[in-house]
Structure 1
Amino acid sequence: MNELKVLGEFYFSQLANKPIWDDKGRRIGRLLDMAMRWDSVSPRVTGIRYAKGISSLIPFEWVASWDKDGLRLNTTFNPQKTYPLHDDETFIGKWLLDKQIIDLEGSKLVRVNDISLSWVSHEDHQYLVLVAVDIGVRGLFRRLGVEFLLSRIANNFVGCQYIKPLENRTSALQLTQEKEQLRQLHPADIADIIETMDYKQRANFLEALDSQQAIDALTEMELEAQVEMIIQMDEGRASDILEEMPPDEAADILSELSLEKSEELLRLMESDDAEDVRELMQYEEDTAGSLMTTEYIGLPFWLTAEQAINELRRLAPEAETIYYLYVVDEQEILEGVLSLRELIIASPETPLKEIMHTKIVKISPYEDHEKVADIIHKYGLLAVPVVNDQDQILGIITVDDVLELFMSERPRGEIFSSLITRRHQLKGGHSE
């Protein structure tokens, strides 16, 4: 049984534009590009493009040797025996070089700066196979002919096993395990990747994500990018995503759209979701109402601790946070509040009215953002309820919502640091 032997290793940049001679010593052109076909093992070179304005390719089987001076064929060149690019082939240089690829480890978009190839022998046949793409700066310097300036810097490769065949010849490179591995990335990292893409790439990439990934990523984006992405989607998918997003996020996005566009999307949303969003859109931008979400846990006071836990299991997936539970009457008037910890450690038969706190820190929807931040900081809250004049709960404002307002205002120091701490507690589901 013949073993696979490596006869030589090359970079595309080292082969590009090299002259091509046939077995008579006649120069017939230059290596302008290489056609490649994907198989179940690895991509391999199938043909050589040798002249501008000519679509025919030299079959790779004609190549006898490679060296620094160029390519030599094992036969006399006959243009009648060249062949056109097949549908299952693509050009390495034209369609791969300088394209973007998702670096899942670094959670970012990177550019393919060069391509690593190996000339191998197996069972009396020789192949030129694509081994990896070089995404490092050294690959770029190699193409410029000054790689020696970075001789101490390691190459940065992505193996061909992680690259999927191009769906069409204008696609950017993506990874074979992209969808599965994207699920392991934090939504904020996916958002960062999308925000570095151009307009067309964003639309294509978001279309490839499942609905929950798209929702989570959109929630982490800046408002301007959120609005752009929603505008790019067809109205059906946009409305589906908006109704699954936190209502406050959806309200912010729709408020930036034209009245006609926002009304059309609201019309397509489920009526209950649309109504929640409409209510939030009525508040001025700098008010507490514009920060709140309607996704909170409200429980009737007559429930026992055990009944409340069962109800919590049902309601929790739709809530912004479950750390605080709000006790309300039939008219949604806020009567008390308790923490998840207090509920869990209570005896199962204990009514909520016996463990809830009736002295509640709350805020009007018309208070300004500064007041909201001060209250959350002063009382060390992870969330604060928003109520109307009749003490009916309208929603809650979490520390995350407030933190976003002050990320660029670090001189606020004490409040900023406190909010950072509270945010970590909220994400971890515990307090000090």
Structure 2
Amino acid sequence: MEDLKLLGEFYFSQLLNKPIRDSKGHRIGRVLDMAIRWDSVSPHVTGIRYSKSVHDLIPTKFFASWDHDGMRLNTIFDPLLTCPLQEDETFIGKWLLDKQIIDLEGSKLVRVNDISLSWVSHEDHHYILLVAVDIGVRGLFRRLGVEFLLSRLDNKFVGSQYIKPIENRTSALQLTREKEQLRQLHPADIADIIENMDYKQRATFLDTLDSQQAIDALSEMELEVQVEVITQMDEERASDILEEMPPDEAADILSELSTEKSEELLSLMESDDAEDVRELMQYDENTAGSLMTTEYIGLPIWITAEQAINELRRLAPEAETIYYLYVVDEQETLEGVLSLRELIIASPDTTLRELMHTKIVKVSPYDDHEKVADIIHKYGLLAVPVVNSQDQVLGIITVDDVLELLMPDRPRVEIYSTLIARRRQAKGGHAE
């Protein structure tokens, strides 16, 4: 709205339970809640709930003024003036106050302690606009009537332009700058937000994420939370997400479920994906096999560097890492390895046979975690191939999986900092 005239500002808590009087001074009820509508201009109050009935609202056009003693109408009250709550309206007290919402700027869950409202006029019409939500401690003290104790503390607000209901008249609201901005959050931030939600909130919020967002966020969560989240989902969506996750992560989750539940989800997955996961689930928890992923880049020995780069464009989206490229024969027997850097700087017509290193550091799927960690540390590797007794590649173990194993209580940012440092230290054909 343009040319708005500000008549006053107040907090929802300051009017809650205050009396409502008509133009004759007759008391007709109390402010029990306010109905609000989100539109393209600004969220604005459409009516005041004054009685126990949620179907009787006094439209805001009949309000003339407000003060600390309550609100006053511009007419004599008549029940015929009231209107019902509409489908596109929400009670802000019931659905917003005291609720946890997502602060995308801070990438965290916050609690709404109060609501800031403005009384404005436009072309002789009065409007009550929702300006912001108060997420600070001062807002909580205000509601308790002791705001003076924190008068020197700044208020913490989130503007109304960031408020949008997840769905009409639900018990959860989400701060958003449209869904595109939710996508800009790092998956680790989304994971932290979900981990701090209660059971019901998680299910509701996950329904607002697209599959890739859910997958990326799920990959950042602790295993016990991953299991809880997958358990909450309906079987079809859970199987779709497990299908798109790295097989080793999907195997970890399914291994924590009951045999009946894991088999049910596996049966709904694509057969090839389910087979990869089943293969990983067979290894004991402390073995290299339990750490590996089957998503790696395997290229034939006879192709050229140019052909390999073209193949890489096709295969890379499905791979866990592309820092190392493994050269294999028709039976997936490991013949050699080269780094992505070596491939990029090579002459286009050079074959992989000429580029690859044949002295390869590798592990067995039955080696224990300690041996895997020692090998990765000793040679400064970003990944190590896992092979069977015939030297056929079964998968790879990446350094980030080993670091998370060795530093389970460290924040992920520390783990990734360690990983970056290791990448910078990596030298030689197998370590670049």
Common fold, TM-score beyond 0.5? yes
Partner of residue 64, structure 2: 64
Q: Tell me how far apart the structure 2 counterparts of residues 151 and 300 of structure 1 sit (CA, whole Å).
A: 71
Give the Cα–Cα distance (whole angstroms) in 1 for the partners of residues 139 and 289 of structure 2.
52
Give the equivalent residue in structure 1 for 2:192: 192
Number of the residue aligned with 1:76: 76
- In the alignment, which residue of structure 1 is the partner of 2:117? 117
Matched residue, 1:353: 353
Q: Tell me if structure 1 keeps the 8 A contact 2:100–2:110.
A: yes
> What is the CA distance between 1:285 and its match in structure 2?
0.5
Q: Distance in 1 between matches of 2:289 and 2:362?
A: 12
SS at match of 2:175: coil
Aligned-pair distance for 1:340?
0.6
Q: TM-score if structure 2 supplies the norm length?
A: 0.92
Q: Distance in 2 between matches of 1:417 and 1:129?
A: 46
- The 5 A counterparts of 1:79-118 are 79-118=79-118
Summarize the Cα distance change of 1:211–1:8 in structure 2 as closer, same or farther, 3 Å threshold: same
CA distance in 1, matches of 2:241, 2:408: 28
Tell me how far 1:198 sits from its aligned partner: 1.6
After TM superposition, give the deviation of residue 416 of structure 1 in Å. Answer: 11
Contact kept, 8 Å, 2:98 with 2:112, in 1: the verdict is yes
Return closer, same or farther for 1:215/1:305 CA change in 2, 3 Å cut-off: same
What is residue 163 of structure 2 aligned with on the other side? Answer: 163
**% identical aligned pairs:** 84
Paired residue type of 1:139: G
1:247 Cα deviation (Å)? 0.6
**Hey, what's the Cα distance between the residues in 2 that align with 1:188 and 1:202?**
15
Change (3 A) 1:117 1:372: same
Q: Deviation per CA, 1:294-341, whole angstroms, max 9, x where unpaired? A: 111111111221221111111111110000011112221112111111
The residue type paired with residue 38 of structure 1 is W
Report Cα offsets for 1:32-70 as digits up to 9, x if no partner: 222223333122222222234675233323322111222
The separation in 2 between residues aligned to 1:218 and 1:424, in whole angstroms, is 28
1:263 is matched with which residue? 263
Give how far 1:80 is off: 4.6
What amino acid is aligned across from residue 76 of structure 2 in structure 1?
A: T
Amino acid at match of 1:86: Q
**Do the aligned partners of 2:325 and 2:338 also contact (CA within 8 Å) in 1?**
yes
**Higher mean displacement: 371-380 or 17-26:** 17-26
| In the alignment, structure 1 residue 402 sits paired with structure 2 residue 402 | yes
Q: What are the residue-to-residue correspondences of 1:261-340 with 2, within 5 Å?
A: 261-340=261-340
> Is 1:406–1:416's contact at 8 Å kept on the other side of the alignment?
no
**CA pair 148-423 structure 1, distance change in 2 beyond 3 A:** farther
| Matched AA of 2:62 | W
Given the superposition, is the C-alpha separation of residues 188 and 424 from structure 1 closer, same or farther in structure 2, using an over 3 Å criterion?
A: farther
Q: Unaligned 5+ residue runs, structure 1?
A: none
The verdict on how the C-alpha distance between 1:300 and 1:218 changes in structure 2, with shifts beyond 3 A counting, is same
Deviation at 1:116, TM superposition (A): 0.9
Partner of 1:207: 207
Q: Following TM superposition, by how much is the alpha carbon of 1:224 offset from its aligned partner in structure 2, in angstroms?
A: 1.2
Q: Offset at 1:14?
A: 1.1
- Comparing 54-63 with 27-36, which one deviates more in the overlay? 54-63
Partner of 1:247: 247
User: What do you get for the CA RMSD once the two structures are aligned?
Assistant: 2.4
2:174 corresponds to 1:174? yes
Counterpart amino acid of residue 336 in structure 2:
G
Letter in 2 for 1:203: A
Deviation of the 1:282 alpha carbon: 0.6
In structure 2, the CA distance between the partners of 1:347 and 1:50, relative to structure 1 (3 Å rule), is: same
Q: Distance in 2 between matches of 1:383 and 1:339?
A: 11
Q: Measure the CA separation in 2 of the matches of 1:423 and 1:209.
A: 32
TM normalised by structure 1 equals 0.92
8 Å CA contact 1:383, 1:396 repeated in 2: yes
- Give the whole-Å Cα distance in 1 for the aligned partners of 2:350 and 2:177: 50
Cα distance between partner residues in 1 of 2:88 and 2:179 = 24
* Aligned position for 2:223: 223
Stretch deviating more after TM superposition (233-242 or 338-347):
233-242
SS at match of 1:148: helix
Assess, with a 3 A threshold, how the Cα gap between structure 1 residues 26 and 176 changes in structure 2: closer, same or farther: same
Distance between the aligned counterparts of 1:372 and 1:217, measured in 2?
A: 27
Deviation at 1:165, TM superposition (A): 4.5
Q: What SS does structure 2 have at the residue aligned with 1:83?
A: coil
Other-structure match for 1:147: 147
In the aligned structure 2, how far is the partner of 1:241 from the partner of 1:425? 35
Q: Say which SS state the counterpart of residue 332 (structure 1) adopts.
A: coil
Distance 1:177 1:419 in 2: 32
Distance in 2, matches of 1:10 and 1:372, equals: 63
Q: Are 1:377 and 1:418, in contact at CA under 8 Å, matched by a contact in 2?
A: no
Contact 2:381-2:431 at 8 Å conserved across structures: no
Letter in structure 2 aligned against 1:276: D
Whether contact under 8 Å (2:324, 2:340) holds in the other structure is yes
| Structure 2 CA distance for aligned equivalents of residues 175 and 407 of structure 1 | 33
Tell me the CA shift for residue 176 of structure 1.
4.6
Tell me, what secondary structure is at the counterpart of 1:386? strand
How big is the shift at 1:9?
0.5
Structure 2: gaps spanning 5 or more residues: none
Correspondence for 1:19: 19
Does structure 1 retain, via aligned residues, the 8 Å contact 2:238–2:265? yes
Which 10-residue stretch deviates more, 377-386 or 223-232?
223-232
SS of corresponding position for 1:169? coil
Larger CA deviation: 374-383 vs 40-49: 40-49
Greater shift, 329-338 or 162-171, is seen at: 162-171
SS at structure 2 position matched to 1:391:
coil
Paired residue type of 2:99: K
Question: Match of 1:385?
Answer: 385
Are the counterparts in 1 of residues 118 and 129 from structure 2 also a CA contact under 8 Å?
yes
Cα distance change, pair 420–215 in 1 and its aligned pair in 2 (3 A): same
Which stretch shows the higher mean deviation, 142-151 or 9-18?
142-151
Counterpart of 1:234, as a letter, is: D
